[in-house]
Structure 1
């Protein structure tokens, strides 16, 4: 899977992933537990950003490595370590909920992240 996602921050300062195909509660799409602070960083503290994410390597991309599988727990998902940001050491821990499993078809061992310059770069 290789897809560009839009993330946006509400006036309440909550981050969400924009998944038009999602038919369940929007609460499921809120980015929390370190994912929100990662988005603050990569957005440059703006209210929107786009991330190209893949479970297959992307040349020059940063990596989020699965450090704890929580798919058998109530909220599911997994704990990840974002090793680098734009090639520099970052080592930021975050949790991605079970929506990750729906989007990727499973819980990837590694998620590669790249940063498209414009929204037109969306896949």
Structure 2
């Protein structure tokens, strides 16, 4: 499954995913625990970016590997590792909450992503 997701910074410089069909709290869409740092790398000085994300390989994509699926009492979702980013070793840990399961209908073993719609 492939999905383009827009991410944006609010006035407090906090990152959020733009998922219109999400029926839960807006706080659930905030990107924290490493995901915010990754979005800062991708967007550089911009306040938004759009990523093509998939649970199957896509050409020229970065890869997040699932390391640990969290139980609900630990926030749900999964802890992922971004070993390299733009061919540079990072070993960057990221937590993606249960919204990931909402988007992909599961917690993918690997998430492939790349920036799209760069002007």
Q: Same fold (TM over 0.5)?
A: yes
Q: Partners of 1:40 and 1:18 in 2: how far apart?
A: 16
Equivalent pair of 1:34/1:95 in contact (CA under 8 Å): yes
Name the counterpart of 1:58: 58
Name the counterpart of 2:98: 98
Name the counterpart of 2:67: 67
Name the counterpart of 1:35: 35
Equivalent pair of 1:50/1:115 in contact (CA under 8 Å): yes
Give 5+ residue unaligned stretches, structure 2: none
Q: Partners of 1:95 and 1:17 in 2: how far apart?
A: 14
Instruction: State the TM-score, normalized to the length of structure 1.
Output: 0.90
Cα deviation for residue 48 of structure 1 reads 0.3
Instruction: State the TM-score, normalized to the length of structure 2.
Output: 0.93
Q: Partners of 1:80 and 1:96 in 2: how far apart?
A: 7
Offset from partner CA, 1:81-118 (integer Å, 9 cap, x none): 11222233222111000000111011000000111134
Give 5+ residue unaligned stretches, structure 1: none
Name the counterpart of 1:11: 11
Q: How many residues align?
A: 118
TM-align CA RMSD: 1.3
